[in-house]
Amino acid sequence: MATQQTLSTVKAKEAGPWLNAWRSFKKSKVSLIGAGIVLVFIILAILAPLIAPQGINEQNLTQRLQPPSGTHWFGTDDFGRDIFSRVLYGARISLWVGFFSVIGSIVVGSLLGILAGYYGRWVDTIISRIFDIMLAFPSILLAISIVAVLGPSLQNALIAIAIVNIPNFGRLIRSKVLSIKQEEYITSAKAIGMKDARILFKHILPNSMAPVIVQGTLAVATAIIEAAALGFLGLGAQAPTPEWGKMLADARVYLVNAPWTMIFPGIAIMLTVLGFNLMGDGLRDALDPKMKN
Protein backbone atom coordinates (compact mmCIF):
# COMPACT_ATOMS: atom_id res chain seq x y z
CA MET A 1 0.00 0.00 0.00
CA ALA A 2 2.76 2.42 0.91
CA THR A 3 4.56 1.61 -2.35
CA GLN A 4 1.42 2.31 -4.37
CA GLN A 5 0.93 5.65 -2.65
CA THR A 6 4.56 6.55 -3.32
CA LEU A 7 4.20 5.66 -7.00
CA SER A 8 1.02 7.75 -7.23
CA THR A 9 2.80 10.72 -5.70
CA VAL A 10 5.75 10.38 -8.09
CA LYS A 11 3.43 10.13 -11.11
CA ALA A 12 1.51 13.22 -9.95
CA LYS A 13 4.73 15.20 -9.67
CA GLU A 14 5.93 14.03 -13.09
CA ALA A 15 2.59 14.98 -14.68
CA GLY A 16 2.89 18.61 -13.65
CA PRO A 17 0.45 20.89 -11.81
CA TRP A 18 -1.70 21.78 -14.84
CA LEU A 19 -2.22 18.16 -15.89
CA ASN A 20 -3.06 17.26 -12.30
CA ALA A 21 -5.54 20.13 -12.19
CA TRP A 22 -7.19 18.85 -15.38
CA ARG A 23 -7.47 15.36 -13.92
CA SER A 24 -9.03 16.78 -10.78
CA PHE A 25 -11.40 18.92 -12.84
CA LYS A 26 -12.60 15.91 -14.83
CA LYS A 27 -13.62 14.10 -11.66
CA SER A 28 -16.37 16.65 -10.96
CA LYS A 29 -19.48 15.94 -13.02
CA VAL A 30 -20.99 19.29 -12.10
CA SER A 31 -17.91 21.11 -13.39
CA LEU A 32 -18.03 19.15 -16.64
CA ILE A 33 -21.68 20.07 -17.04
CA GLY A 34 -20.78 23.74 -16.62
CA ALA A 35 -17.95 23.42 -19.14
CA GLY A 36 -20.34 21.66 -21.52
CA ILE A 37 -22.88 24.48 -21.25
CA VAL A 38 -20.20 27.08 -21.95
CA LEU A 39 -18.87 25.06 -24.89
CA VAL A 40 -22.36 24.74 -26.39
CA PHE A 41 -22.92 28.51 -26.26
CA ILE A 42 -19.48 29.17 -27.76
CA ILE A 43 -20.23 26.80 -30.64
CA LEU A 44 -23.66 28.37 -31.16
CA ALA A 45 -22.10 31.82 -31.21
CA ILE A 46 -19.47 30.79 -33.76
CA LEU A 47 -21.96 28.97 -36.00
CA ALA A 48 -24.76 31.53 -35.62
CA PRO A 49 -24.66 32.62 -39.31
CA LEU A 50 -25.10 28.98 -40.35
CA ILE A 51 -27.71 28.00 -37.75
CA ALA A 52 -29.92 31.11 -37.65
CA PRO A 53 -32.96 30.50 -39.87
CA GLN A 54 -33.50 34.22 -40.54
CA GLY A 55 -31.63 37.50 -40.44
CA ILE A 56 -31.46 39.21 -37.07
CA ASN A 57 -33.11 42.38 -38.42
CA GLU A 58 -35.42 40.73 -40.94
CA GLN A 59 -38.87 42.16 -40.14
CA ASN A 60 -42.27 40.74 -41.01
CA LEU A 61 -45.02 42.74 -39.35
CA THR A 62 -47.67 40.22 -40.44
CA GLN A 63 -45.89 37.67 -38.19
CA ARG A 64 -45.36 39.90 -35.16
CA LEU A 65 -45.66 38.36 -31.66
CA GLN A 66 -46.16 34.84 -32.99
CA PRO A 67 -45.79 32.06 -30.36
CA PRO A 68 -43.11 29.36 -30.73
CA SER A 69 -43.78 27.07 -33.67
CA GLY A 70 -42.05 24.89 -36.24
CA THR A 71 -41.30 27.97 -38.32
CA HIS A 72 -40.15 30.18 -35.43
CA TRP A 73 -38.79 27.97 -32.65
CA PHE A 74 -38.69 30.79 -30.08
CA GLY A 75 -41.53 32.82 -31.61
CA THR A 76 -41.27 36.35 -32.97
CA ASP A 77 -40.97 39.78 -31.39
CA ASP A 78 -43.00 42.95 -31.89
CA PHE A 79 -41.36 43.57 -35.29
CA GLY A 80 -41.89 40.02 -36.51
CA ARG A 81 -38.20 39.17 -36.14
CA ASP A 82 -37.21 35.58 -35.36
CA ILE A 83 -36.25 35.42 -31.66
CA PHE A 84 -34.22 32.21 -32.07
CA SER A 85 -31.94 33.92 -34.60
CA ARG A 86 -31.54 36.96 -32.37
CA VAL A 87 -30.75 34.83 -29.31
CA LEU A 88 -28.03 33.02 -31.29
CA TYR A 89 -26.40 36.27 -32.34
CA GLY A 90 -26.91 37.61 -28.83
CA ALA A 91 -24.62 34.82 -27.60
CA ARG A 92 -21.86 36.31 -29.75
CA ILE A 93 -22.30 39.72 -28.20
CA SER A 94 -22.58 38.56 -24.59
CA LEU A 95 -19.58 36.23 -24.82
CA TRP A 96 -17.57 38.91 -26.61
CA VAL A 97 -18.30 41.44 -23.90
CA GLY A 98 -17.69 38.89 -21.15
CA PHE A 99 -14.34 37.62 -22.45
CA PHE A 100 -12.78 40.89 -23.57
CA SER A 101 -13.89 42.91 -20.55
CA VAL A 102 -12.38 40.29 -18.24
CA ILE A 103 -9.17 40.13 -20.29
CA GLY A 104 -8.84 43.89 -19.96
CA SER A 105 -9.48 43.70 -16.22
CA ILE A 106 -6.89 40.94 -15.81
CA VAL A 107 -4.19 42.79 -17.76
CA VAL A 108 -4.59 46.13 -15.96
CA GLY A 109 -5.45 44.66 -12.55
CA SER A 110 -2.54 42.19 -12.65
CA LEU A 111 -0.07 44.92 -13.59
CA LEU A 112 -1.22 47.19 -10.77
CA GLY A 113 -1.41 44.32 -8.29
CA ILE A 114 2.13 43.15 -9.10
CA LEU A 115 3.54 46.64 -8.70
CA ALA A 116 1.71 47.16 -5.41
CA GLY A 117 2.69 43.81 -3.93
CA TYR A 118 6.30 43.74 -5.11
CA TYR A 119 7.43 47.31 -4.42
CA GLY A 120 5.19 48.06 -1.42
CA ARG A 121 5.54 51.34 0.47
CA TRP A 122 4.04 54.38 -1.27
CA VAL A 123 3.35 52.46 -4.49
CA ASP A 124 1.27 49.94 -2.57
CA THR A 125 -0.45 52.68 -0.59
CA ILE A 126 -1.55 54.66 -3.66
CA ILE A 127 -2.72 51.67 -5.68
CA SER A 128 -4.49 50.06 -2.71
CA ARG A 129 -6.35 53.27 -1.90
CA ILE A 130 -7.50 53.54 -5.52
CA PHE A 131 -8.81 49.98 -5.31
CA ASP A 132 -10.57 50.77 -2.01
CA ILE A 133 -12.29 53.81 -3.50
CA MET A 134 -13.51 51.83 -6.52
CA LEU A 135 -14.74 48.96 -4.35
CA ALA A 136 -16.65 51.40 -2.15
CA PHE A 137 -19.21 51.76 -4.96
CA PRO A 138 -21.60 48.98 -6.00
CA SER A 139 -20.20 47.55 -9.23
CA ILE A 140 -23.32 48.13 -11.31
CA LEU A 141 -23.65 51.71 -10.03
CA LEU A 142 -20.02 52.43 -10.92
CA ALA A 143 -20.53 50.89 -14.36
CA ILE A 144 -23.62 53.04 -14.92
CA SER A 145 -21.68 56.15 -13.94
CA ILE A 146 -18.84 55.35 -16.34
CA VAL A 147 -21.22 54.65 -19.24
CA ALA A 148 -23.14 57.84 -18.45
CA VAL A 149 -19.90 59.79 -18.86
CA LEU A 150 -18.67 57.94 -21.97
CA GLY A 151 -22.06 57.64 -23.62
CA PRO A 152 -24.38 54.65 -24.07
CA SER A 153 -22.98 52.02 -26.44
CA LEU A 154 -21.86 48.41 -26.37
CA GLN A 155 -18.18 49.34 -26.57
CA ASN A 156 -18.46 51.81 -23.68
CA ALA A 157 -20.33 49.20 -21.66
CA LEU A 158 -17.42 46.80 -22.23
CA ILE A 159 -14.95 49.46 -21.07
CA ALA A 160 -17.04 50.21 -17.98
CA ILE A 161 -17.31 46.54 -17.02
CA ALA A 162 -13.56 46.11 -17.47
CA ILE A 163 -12.81 49.11 -15.23
CA VAL A 164 -15.22 47.92 -12.55
CA ASN A 165 -13.51 44.53 -12.27
CA ILE A 166 -9.93 45.83 -12.13
CA PRO A 167 -9.76 46.08 -8.29
CA ASN A 168 -10.87 42.45 -7.87
CA PHE A 169 -7.95 41.13 -9.90
CA GLY A 170 -5.55 43.75 -8.56
CA ARG A 171 -6.13 42.81 -4.93
CA LEU A 172 -6.01 39.11 -5.76
CA ILE A 173 -2.63 39.41 -7.50
CA ARG A 174 -1.29 41.73 -4.80
CA SER A 175 -2.00 39.24 -2.03
CA LYS A 176 -0.41 36.44 -4.05
CA VAL A 177 2.70 38.51 -4.79
CA LEU A 178 3.12 39.41 -1.12
CA SER A 179 3.49 35.72 -0.28
CA ILE A 180 5.53 34.68 -3.31
CA LYS A 181 8.14 37.42 -3.00
CA GLN A 182 9.16 35.97 0.37
CA GLU A 183 10.11 32.64 -1.19
CA GLU A 184 13.76 31.61 -1.26
CA TYR A 185 14.01 31.44 -5.05
CA ILE A 186 12.91 35.08 -5.31
CA THR A 187 15.51 36.08 -2.72
CA SER A 188 18.14 34.13 -4.65
CA ALA A 189 17.14 35.83 -7.90
CA LYS A 190 17.59 39.22 -6.28
CA ALA A 191 20.96 38.15 -4.79
CA ILE A 192 22.42 37.25 -8.19
CA GLY A 193 21.35 40.62 -9.59
CA MET A 194 18.34 39.62 -11.67
CA LYS A 195 16.35 42.64 -12.79
CA ASP A 196 12.97 43.35 -11.24
CA ALA A 197 11.13 43.09 -14.56
CA ARG A 198 12.47 39.58 -15.16
CA ILE A 199 11.63 38.49 -11.62
CA LEU A 200 8.11 39.84 -11.94
CA PHE A 201 7.21 38.40 -15.33
CA LYS A 202 9.25 35.19 -15.30
CA HIS A 203 8.85 34.01 -11.71
CA ILE A 204 6.15 35.86 -9.80
CA LEU A 205 3.45 36.31 -12.46
CA PRO A 206 3.40 32.66 -13.70
CA ASN A 207 3.09 31.42 -10.12
CA SER A 208 0.19 33.80 -9.46
CA MET A 209 -2.01 32.78 -12.38
CA ALA A 210 -3.99 29.91 -10.81
CA PRO A 211 -6.33 32.10 -8.70
CA VAL A 212 -6.58 34.60 -11.57
CA ILE A 213 -7.86 31.87 -13.91
CA VAL A 214 -10.52 30.89 -11.39
CA GLN A 215 -11.55 34.48 -10.70
CA GLY A 216 -11.52 35.24 -14.42
CA THR A 217 -13.94 32.40 -15.18
CA LEU A 218 -16.35 33.60 -12.51
CA ALA A 219 -15.88 37.21 -13.62
CA VAL A 220 -17.05 36.36 -17.16
CA ALA A 221 -20.40 35.32 -15.68
CA THR A 222 -20.58 38.58 -13.74
CA ALA A 223 -19.63 40.59 -16.83
CA ILE A 224 -22.42 38.97 -18.86
CA ILE A 225 -24.94 39.90 -16.18
CA GLU A 226 -23.63 43.46 -15.97
CA ALA A 227 -23.73 43.83 -19.76
CA ALA A 228 -27.32 42.60 -19.77
CA ALA A 229 -28.20 45.01 -16.97
CA LEU A 230 -26.69 47.95 -18.83
CA GLY A 231 -28.49 46.88 -22.00
CA PHE A 232 -31.76 46.60 -20.09
CA LEU A 233 -31.31 50.14 -18.78
CA GLY A 234 -30.58 51.45 -22.28
CA LEU A 235 -26.92 52.19 -21.51
CA GLY A 236 -25.38 49.22 -23.31
CA ALA A 237 -26.16 47.84 -26.74
CA GLN A 238 -28.51 50.01 -28.78
CA ALA A 239 -31.31 48.93 -31.11
CA PRO A 240 -31.42 46.94 -33.32
CA THR A 241 -28.43 45.04 -31.83
CA PRO A 242 -29.64 41.60 -30.61
CA GLU A 243 -28.11 41.81 -27.13
CA TRP A 244 -29.92 39.73 -24.50
CA GLY A 245 -30.39 42.55 -21.99
CA LYS A 246 -31.68 44.88 -24.68
CA MET A 247 -34.06 42.15 -25.89
CA LEU A 248 -35.45 41.85 -22.36
CA ALA A 249 -35.95 45.61 -22.15
CA ASP A 250 -37.78 45.74 -25.48
CA ALA A 251 -40.00 42.78 -24.54
CA ARG A 252 -40.99 43.78 -21.02
CA VAL A 253 -44.21 45.45 -22.20
CA TYR A 254 -45.28 42.15 -23.77
CA LEU A 255 -44.70 40.02 -20.68
CA VAL A 256 -48.40 39.16 -20.31
CA ASN A 257 -49.46 38.90 -23.95
CA ALA A 258 -46.26 37.41 -25.41
CA PRO A 259 -44.11 36.05 -22.56
CA TRP A 260 -41.83 34.09 -24.91
CA THR A 261 -40.25 37.37 -26.01
CA MET A 262 -38.69 37.62 -22.54
CA ILE A 263 -38.44 33.96 -21.53
CA PHE A 264 -35.90 32.80 -24.11
CA PRO A 265 -33.38 35.68 -23.78
CA GLY A 266 -33.71 35.31 -20.00
CA ILE A 267 -33.05 31.56 -20.17
CA ALA A 268 -30.00 32.21 -22.37
CA ILE A 269 -28.56 34.59 -19.78
CA MET A 270 -29.32 32.18 -16.94
CA LEU A 271 -27.74 29.14 -18.63
CA THR A 272 -24.61 30.99 -19.72
CA VAL A 273 -24.00 32.44 -16.27
CA LEU A 274 -24.72 29.06 -14.66
CA GLY A 275 -22.24 27.35 -16.96
CA PHE A 276 -19.41 29.76 -16.13
CA ASN A 277 -20.16 29.59 -12.40
CA LEU A 278 -20.13 25.78 -12.35
CA MET A 279 -16.93 25.69 -14.39
CA GLY A 280 -15.33 28.31 -12.14
CA ASP A 281 -16.16 26.31 -9.03
CA GLY A 282 -14.57 23.25 -10.61
CA LEU A 283 -11.44 25.17 -11.54
CA ARG A 284 -11.19 26.53 -8.01
CA ASP A 285 -11.33 23.04 -6.56
CA ALA A 286 -8.79 21.77 -9.08
CA LEU A 287 -6.27 24.63 -8.85
CA ASP A 288 -6.49 25.42 -5.12
CA PRO A 289 -4.43 22.89 -3.12
CA LYS A 290 -6.42 23.73 0.02
CA MET A 291 -9.59 22.36 -1.62
CA LYS A 292 -8.07 18.96 -2.35
CA ASN A 293 -8.36 15.97 -0.05
Domain ranges in the chain are 30-288
Has residue 6 got a pLDDT over 70?
A: no
Per-residue confidence (pLDDT) for residue 2, from 0 to 100: 46
Who has greater pLDDT, 18 or 179? 179
Q: What is the pTM of this model?
A: 0.84
Residue 73: name the closest of 267, 269, 278 by CA.
267
Cα angle, residue 98 at apex, residues 95 and 104 outer, rounded to 5°: 135
- 8 A C-beta contact, residue 63 and residue 100: no
Output the CA–CA distances (angstroms, integers) from residue 136 to 63, 151, 163, in the order listed: 48, 23, 14
Has residue 121 got a pLDDT over 90?
A: no
Name the CATH superfamily for 30-288. MetI-like (1.10.3720.10)
The winner for highest mean pLDDT among 36-45, 114-123, 202-211, 231-240 is: 36-45
Query: How far apart, in whole angstroms, are the C-alpha atoms of residue 207 and residue 117?
Result: 14
Alpha helices in 28-153 (DSSP H): 29-46, 48-51, 83-119, 121-135, 139-150
Q: How far, in whole angstroms, is CA 170 from its chain's centroid?
A: 16
- 8 A C-beta contact, residue 267 and residue 30: no
Whether cis (ω within 30° of 0) applies to the bond prior to 68 is: no
